[in-house]
Amino acid sequence: MLDVVACGELLIDFTPTSHAEKGKLAFEQNPGGAPANVLTALSRLGKRTSFVGAVGNDAFGQFLKQTLLDLNIGTTGLIMTSEAPTTLAFVHINEHADRSFHFYRNPGADTLLRETDIDEELIGQARIFHFGSLSLTHEPARAATKKAVEIAKNNHRLVSFDPNYRASLWDDEDEAKRIILSGISQANIVKLSEEEVVFLAPTGDVNEATDWLMQEYGNQLILVTLGAKGCFYRTHDHCGIVQGFKVDAVDTTGAGDAFFGGMLHQILEVKEDIATRTQTELEQMIRFANAVGALATTKTGAIPAMPSLEEVERFTKAGL
């Protein structure tokens, strides 16, 4: 039995490095892609994971496959395609350590995952199935992702969804909103950013927007990451904010994925039954996830920055 299987993009993040000569930009190659980041966080926290997606049959793709293997993330669902190169993302970081992305993906290998590539047995044996919206931007990956979600639901698995909305990758904003809301409708657990709440809901007020989403789609748990401020959460019975941790952030790339990996770890630890958790228990779970997200901002890159369980436990004890 696997803990989590994730479907979606696995790509190269080129992140800025401080080793450049004056007046020049230099980038270092880091493995990335939101679903893979989530799996890395979970793997570093001791969970059994496996990835479903496509990379190019090129040097970047080989590097990414080896990265997953080194992290003990299963690769039986990883497709190496010669039809397109591995997708690349150049990350730009401002003075507040916030990042923006420029993608090379026209098409990228991650969009070429096909329905026939989806391993029903692999998804069926996972306790949680996780996906995002980047694999929903273009066919054939859109149909493949929908098939994977359907398999998970048919096997009565928990489904988690993080839109990870990147406007530049969608041909049409209205289509993006419609498809992302459809993804939310399929998920038990949803994680959003504040910007995604504004984009998707009739109101930008997090409290009202999450109430609307839950009424509309019946999710068990909605999480809205608030950066350094922490996380807003809503279940059918409880809502509130769990404060974040103060750290010296150097790169926020993958911080939301680290947080979500930490939260899925906590859900797995309590045998997934979110509805029966008390408010205190929920907030303790989210505090752990906040710690994972905070620690991930103290190093550059996404996958390389994910903390171990020992690091998280030490950090949360020190922050009491």
Residue 106: pLDDT above 60?
yes
| pLDDT tens-digit series, residues 120-161 | 999 999 999 999 999 999 999 999 999 999 999 999 999 999
Tens of pLDDT, residues 183-241: 999 999 999 999 999 999 999 999 999 999 999 999 999 999 998 899 999 999 999 99
Calpha distance 208→171 (Å, rounded): 29
Dihedral sign of CA atoms 24, 29, 35, 40 in order: negative
- CA pair distance 197, 182, nearest whole angstrom: 15
- 30-65 residue pLDDT tens: 899 999 999 999 999 999 999 999 999 999 999 999
β-bridge pairing 231-234 and 239-242: antiparallel
User: What's the CA gap between 89 and 32, in Å, rounded?
Assistant: 9
Pairing of strands 73-81, 49-56: parallel
Q: Which two tokens stand for residue 116?
A: 């026939």
What class has domain 2-319?
Answer: alpha beta
Residues 310, 142: Cα–Cα separation, whole Å: 37
The DSSP line for 114-180 is -GGG--HHHHHTEEEEEEESGGGSSTTHHHHHHHHHHHHHHTT-EEEEE----GGG-S-HHHHHHHH
Query: Would you kindly state where each structural domain of the chain is located, as residue ranges?
Result: 2-319
pTM: 0.95
The pLDDT mean for the chain works out to 94
